[in-house]
Amino acid sequence: MCFTHDVIERQALKICEEMKMYSIYSLVGVATTGDQVKIQENTSIESNFKLLPGEALPLITNVMLQDAYGRDYSVSPDEAGLQFAKGEVTYKEYKRLQAKEKIQLTTILIASGGTLFLLSWSFLRFFI
């Protein structure tokens, strides 16, 4: 059975391709875990990486967009970034969505840690 090991990289690439296709901005580059790659027009994002056969796809961490006035925007390759690229939200709203996601993640981590602590304490208290 064959299992792909680059699921996260492929998902980020898919969202970047959607940004390129549906964006009201021009996609000028992407930042990966290793470096920044300038994107050529009329080519796929993956072909701009110039990967050798068998080489792993790099993780895209940021997408650089540019509006008609030359202003640059850096967004994450996620649903909030895609909403901004499509023009569904402003950059200020995008930043607010990012902050909200961070707060939700922090809350989930604290709640999970607290639950694990309480379960461990209960186990020690009642069974030992």
Q: pLDDT (tens digit, 9 = 90+) per residue, 56-110?
A: 888 899 999 999 999 999 999 999 999 999 999 999 999 999 999 999 999 999 9
Phi, psi at 107, each rounded to 5°? -60, -45
Q: Which residue has the tokens 């701009």?
A: 48
- In this prediction, what percent of the chain has a pLDDT beyond 90? 66
> How big is the chain, counted in residues?
128
Residues 6+ apart with CB under 8 A from 118: none
25 & 56 share domain: yes
* pLDDT for residue 71: 95
27-51: average pLDDT:
86
The tokens for 11 are: 């998902």
Residues 6+ apart with CB under 8 A from 44: 17
59 & 96 share domain: no
96 & 51 share domain: no
* pLDDT for residue 128: 74
75 & 13 share domain: yes
Number of domains in the chain: 2
124 & 77 share domain: no
pLDDT-based confidence at 51, cuts 50/70/90? confident
101 & 71 share domain: no
66 & 100 share domain: no
Q: Which domain holds residue 116?
A: 90-128
- In this model, does residue 1 exceed pLDDT 60? no
Say if CB 39 and CB 28 are below 8 A apart.
yes
Provide Rg for the chain, Cα atoms: 20
